[in-house]
C-alpha cells in the first residue's frame, strides 16, 4: 500500500480542488498533511521539505518567469484600451460582405487577440461580448457563432506569445536537463521558451487556417447558417461612422505591429522572451495612449488585474513546488518511471496515457496547475524515452486547448456561457464546438505523424 501513496496524494489533491478550495492552498495543504502523516508513520523523510527554500529562491530569481507579469500587463492593456473592438470593426467591414465573413473576422481577430493577450478566459469573454450579439442579429447559427468564439479563444494556448507556453517552456527546460542528467549526460542541451514559441507557430497558423476553411465550407453548404452582411448593416450594428481605410489603420495596424515587434525580436535573436515581453508591455501602453484610452483610473485597473493574475500564478507555483517535493518523497517519480517502462507499447503507450490523463485533468484544472503539477512528474520520464522537448510541449499545449473546448466541462464553454444571452441554449454551444474539437484532434494526429511541424522551424531559426 505504501508504494501507492503518491497516487493517493494526487487523487486527494483532485478531490480537494473539486470541493472548491483555492488551488495553491489545496496543493500545499494536502501535500503537507500527507507529509506530516507519512513522517509520523515512518514512511516519509522530512528532509525532502528542506529543499523548499532553495526551490523558492529559484522561483524568485528565475529570469524567464519575469515574462509572465509583463505579458499579462500587455494583454490587460490591450483589453482595456478597446483594441479588440476596433479590430473586430475593421475585420467585419473587410470580410463581412462575403458569406461566412463575420465568422472569418472572428477567427482572425481571435488569433490576433490570442497572440496579444495569451489568456484564454479574457479572449473568449471579450469576443463573446463584442462579436456574438452582432453575429446572432445578422442570422448566424447560434452553434456556429459560439463554436467559432470558443475555438478561437483557446488559441491563446498555442499562438505565441502565450503565457501557457512561457510557463510550459520553463518547466520543460528543467525537466529536459533533469532527464539528461539522469541519463548520465553532464553537459545537457537546453530548451527555451523561445524554442516553444517558434515551434508553435506552424501548428498554430495551421489551426487558424483550418478554422477559416471550416467557416467557408459551412457558409458554402449552408448559406443560411453564415449569411453575408452588408457594410451598411455592420456599420449600423457596430455604430461605425469612419471610413474603412481609417478603421483598418486604427484597428489592424497597431496590434499587428506590436505582435511583429514581440515575436520578431525573439525570432531574430534580438531579445529573449522576457525582454520581448517588456517590449510588448511598453508598446501596449503606447497603443492605449494613442487610442486615448489610457487614464489614471484605467491604469489602476490594469495594474490591479495584472497583480491579481501574477500573484495567482506564483502562489500556484509555490504550492506546486511543495506538492512535487512531497510526491517525490513518497517515491512518486520512481513509481511513474516503473509504470512507463513496463507499459505496453513503450513510448507510444506512455505518451497516449499521459495525453489522456492531461486531457481529463483539463476538465477540473487550469493549464497553470497542470503545467506546474503534472508536467514536472511525467516530462522527465518521457524525455528520457527519447521524445523531443519542443514537440512534447506543443502536443501538451494543443491537448489542453482541446480539453478546454470539450463538453461538458471545458473552461472555454463556461466562460462563453457566462456572457452569452439566455436565448442561446447551452446545447448550441456544445454542438458548435464539436467540429473545432475534431480539427484540433486532427492537428494532434498530424503532429504525431509529422513531428517536423513543430521541430523544423526552431531548427531553421536557431540553426540546430
Rounded CA-CA distance 91/80 in Å is 19
Helices (H), 183-225: 193-221
Distances (CA, A) of 45 to 4, 85, 304, 373: 16, 56, 41, 21
Rounded CA-CA distance 93/412 in Å is 27
Q: Please tell me what DSSP assigns to residue 1.
A: -
Burial class, 431, CB count within 10 angstroms (exposed 0-12 / middle 13-18 / buried 19+): middle
Q: Please tell me what DSSP assigns to residue 271.
A: S
| pLDDT the model gives residue 1 | 62
- Residue 124's nearest CA partner among 137, 109, 134, 138 is 109
End-to-end Cα distance, the chain: 46
| pLDDT the model gives residue 345 | 74
Q: Which residues of 397-428 are buried (b: 16+ CB within 10 A; e: fewer)?
A: bbbbbbbbbbeeebbbbebbbebbeeebeeeb
Backbone torsion region of residue 21, taken as left when φ is above 0, otherwise alpha when ψ lies between -120 and 50, otherwise beta: beta
- Residue in the structure block whose three cell numbers are 452582432: 134
Q: Please, are residues 375 and 362 in contact by the beta-carbon 8 Å criterion?
A: no
Q: Please, are residues 258 and 284 in contact by the beta-carbon 8 Å criterion?
A: yes
Rounded CA-CA distance 423/279 in Å is 42
| pLDDT the model gives residue 119 | 64
Q: How many angstroms from the chain centroid is the CA of residue 140?
A: 28
| pLDDT the model gives residue 391 | 94
Burial class, 460, CB count within 10 angstroms (exposed 0-12 / middle 13-18 / buried 19+): exposed
| pLDDT the model gives residue 118 | 60
Rg, the chain, Cα only: 23
Q: Splitting the chain (464 residues) into consecutive groups of 10 residues, what average pLDDT does each group show?
A: 79 82 86 90 86 85 83 80 75 79 85 69 77 84 90 84 84 85 74 87 93 92 84 71 73 78 79 84 82 77 86 86 87 79 79 88 79 86 88 92 83 83 88 93 94 90 69
Burial class, 9, CB count within 10 angstroms (exposed 0-12 / middle 13-18 / buried 19+): buried
Amino acid at each position: 500500500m505504501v508504494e501507492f501513496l503518491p497516487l493517493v496524494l494526487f487523487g486527494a489533491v483532485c478531490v480537494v480542488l473539486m470541493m472548491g478550495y483555492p488551488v495553491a492552498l489545496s496543493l500545499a495543504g494536502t501535500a503537507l498533511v500527507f507529509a506530516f502523516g507519512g513522517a509520523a508513520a515512518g514512511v516519509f523523510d522530512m528532509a525532502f521539505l528542506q529543499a523548499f527554500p532553495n526551490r523558492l529562491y529559484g522561483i524568485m530569481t528565475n529570469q524567464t518567469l519575469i515574462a509572465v507579469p509583463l505579458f499579462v500587463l500587455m494583454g490587460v492593456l490591450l483589453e482595456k484600451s478597446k483594441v479588440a473592438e476596433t479590430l473586430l470593426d475593421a475585420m467585419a467591414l473587410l470580410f463581412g460582405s462575403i458569406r461566412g465573413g463575420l465568422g472569418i473576422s472572428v477567427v482572425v481577430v481571435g488569433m490576433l487577440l490570442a497572440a496579444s493577450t495569451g489568456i484564454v478566459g479574457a479572449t473568449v469573454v471579450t469576443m463573446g461580448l463584442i462579436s456574438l450579439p452582432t453575429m446572432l442579429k445578422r442570422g448566424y447559427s447560434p452553434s456556429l457563432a459560439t463554436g467559432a468564439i470558443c475555438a478561437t479563444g483557446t488559441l491563446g494556448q498555442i499562438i505565441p506569445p502565450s503565457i501557457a507556453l512561457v510557463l510550459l517552456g520553463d518547466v520543460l527546460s528543467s525537466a529536459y536537463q533533469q532527464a539528461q542528467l539522469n541519463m548520465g549526460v553532464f553537459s545537457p542541451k537546453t530548451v527555451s521558451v523561445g524554442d516553444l514559441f517558434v515551434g508553435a507557430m506552424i501548428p498554430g497558423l495551421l489551426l487558424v487556417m483550418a478554422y477559416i476553411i471550416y467557416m467557408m465550407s459551412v457558409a458554402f453548404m449552408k448559406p443560411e447558417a453564415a449569411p453575408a452582411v452588408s457594410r451598411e448593416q455592420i456599420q449600423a450594428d457596430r455604430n461605425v461612422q469612419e471610413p474603412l481605410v481609417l478603421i483598418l489603420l486604427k484597428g489592424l495596424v497597431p496590434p499587428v505591429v506590436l505582435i511583429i515587434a514581440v515575436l520578431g525580436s525573439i525570432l531574430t535573436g534580438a531579445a529573449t522572451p522576457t525582454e520581448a515581453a517588456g517590449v510588448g508591455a511598453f508598446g501596449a501602453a503606447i497603443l492605449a495612449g494613442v487610442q486615448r484610452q489610457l487614464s489614471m483610473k484605467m491604469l489602476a485597473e490594469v495594474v490591479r488585474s495584472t497583480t491579481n493574475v501574477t500573484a495567482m500564478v506564483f502562489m500556484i507555483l509555490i504550492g506546486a513546488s511543495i506538492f512535487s517535493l512531497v510526491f517525490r518523497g513518497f517515491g512518486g517519480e520512481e513509481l511513474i518511471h516503473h509504470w512507463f517502462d513496463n507499459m505496453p507499447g513503450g513510448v507510444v503507450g506512455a505518451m497516449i496515457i499521459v495525453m489522456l490523463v492531461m486531457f481529463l485533468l483539463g476538465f477540473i484544472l487550469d493549464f497553470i496547475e497542470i503545467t506546474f503539477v503534472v508536467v514536472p512528474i511525467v516530462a522527465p520520464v518521457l524525455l528520457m524515452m527519447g521524445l523531443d522537448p519542443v514537440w512534447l510541449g506543443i502536443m501538451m499545449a494543443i491537448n489542453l486547448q482541446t480539453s478546454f473546448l470539450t463538453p461538458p466541462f471545458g473552461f472555454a464553454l463556461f466562460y462563453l456561457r457566462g456572457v452569452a444571452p439566455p436565448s442561446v441554449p447551452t446545447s448550441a454551444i456544445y454542438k458548435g464546438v464539436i467540429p473545432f474539437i475534431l480539427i484540433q484532434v486532427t492537428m494532434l494526429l498530424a503532429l504525431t505523424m509529422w513531428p517536423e511541424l513543430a521541430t523544423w522551424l526552431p531548427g531553421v531559426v536557431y540553426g540546430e
